[in-house]
Chain A
């Protein structure tokens, strides 16, 4: 692949596989950055979000009802987030299908804003995930590939 990132496997569960986006030249993937961010790690919903992710990959599968759509144009429900509680802690992702989840980064929505568009940090994270989604789709189409062809061990 030469579209600026690779998809690295981070977990294979009974119900789904989880990958993350790792940009060229970067040491860590986006999910690693998310879980090592002190603001995220210390958030009151971090442990619950962690449990929810396990429920998804090991027990329930990636049903669309568990995800909140995040595509600005509302055209691509695959671009979404996992959150918990009031939705202040947000992990942006691509729900490719019921069995494949590609995690991006995320962050904490400040209490004094309503939408992520009002947060420069969250805006960057959502748009990175959206951009990755479009690049993957385009790459698959142009090269007549399946998503499995892009997944790294």
Chain B
């Protein structure tokens, strides 16, 4: 394999800025959490869910691909429709039984 390809993979943790790395991880965590929540909700399809919250299906696809830097407003809208928390704030998690984002789903 070429040096360029080796470097592409070997230097992921050292060359990618920490904030970029965290952003991608969190976007994908949130995408997974939303996908799981829709799957376990009363909505039969993702299309139906998108329509229920007034979102284009293509936008929901982009969110589930981990491509979107969601605003809190959009997260709140999604949480309200799914009647559950998608994210929680560290240190402010007591009463409602917080949902923490875990890799690949919700804890």
Contact = CB atoms under 8 A, between A and B. Distances in A.
Interface in B12-37: 12, 15-17, 20-21, 23-25, 28, 31-32, 35
Kindly name the residue among B4, B15, B17, B103 whose own CB sees the greatest number of chain A CB atoms within 10 A.
B4
Main secondary structure of the interface of A (DSSP, over half): helix
A10 B17 CA distance: 23
A59 B8 contact: no
B62 interface: yes
Interface string B55-68: 00000011011110
Nearest to A67: B65
Size class of B's contact patch?
Answer: 20 to 34
Contacts of A11: 9
A65 B64 contact: yes
A4 B59 CA distance: 38
A87 B61 CA distance: 12
A48 interface: yes
Contacts of A36: 4
Main secondary structure of the interface of B (DSSP, over half): helix
Interface string B64-79: 1111010000000000
Contacts of A48: 16, 20, 23-24
A60 B25 contact: no
Nearest to A28: B2
Contact of A51 (B20, B31, B35, B64): B20
Interface string A46-73: 0110111011000110010111100000
A59 B67 contact: no
Given A52-B28, A52-B66, A60-B104, A31 B5 contact: yes
Interface of A: 10-11, 28, 31-32, 35-36, 47-48, 50-52, 54-55, 59-60, 63, 65-68, 83-87
